[in-house]
Structure 1
């Protein structure tokens, strides 16, 4: 099974989440809250998707070390 598209999608979503955390840390500005409201259903879904992508990317450690796709 070729999981490269899923890997890249998860990576992009996780990077966007990391940028949001950087904005929170440096400027006290939460982009998700600004765009979608404070803990609305859509913002909670966004946080959940970012978290799931981060957990999925843990599997990349084993695949990168083995050199397999």
Structure 2
């Protein structure tokens, strides 16, 4: 479970950085790396980032319910 949380967190961070670049510089890094927004690889990355964001709702809601330090105690 810890590894999937780290992978999804990394993908959410990548997505956040991509949106930062879109907002600041009108530059889509994912599209630039993988051949445009309509390219299959770009779409896969966008979908994985979106699924990762949904996955991260679970630890986020747990942190809200029981407090952040206790929510991560099982990960150690």
Q: TM-score range by the shorter chain?
A: 0.7 to 0.9
TM-score, length-normalised on structure 2?
0.79
**1:52 is aligned to 2:51:** yes
Q: Unaligned 5+ residue runs, structure 2?
A: none
For 2:47 and 2:61, locate their aligned partners in 1 and report how far apart those are by CA, in whole Å: 23
Provide the residue aligned with 2:13 in structure 1.
15
For 1:23 and 1:59, locate their aligned partners in 2 and report how far apart those are by CA, in whole Å: 27
Runs of 4+ that moved beyond 4 A: none
Provide the residue aligned with 1:62 in structure 2.
61
* RCO higher in structure (CA 8 A, sep ≥6): 1
Provide the residue aligned with 1:37 in structure 2.
35
User: Greater share of helix residues, 1 or 2?
Assistant: 2
**Greater shift in the superposed pair: 53-62 or 42-51:** 53-62
Q: Give the Å deviation of 1:10.
A: 0.6
Paired residue total? 67
TM-score, length-normalised on structure 1?
0.87
Tell me how large the CA RMSD over aligned residues is: 1.2
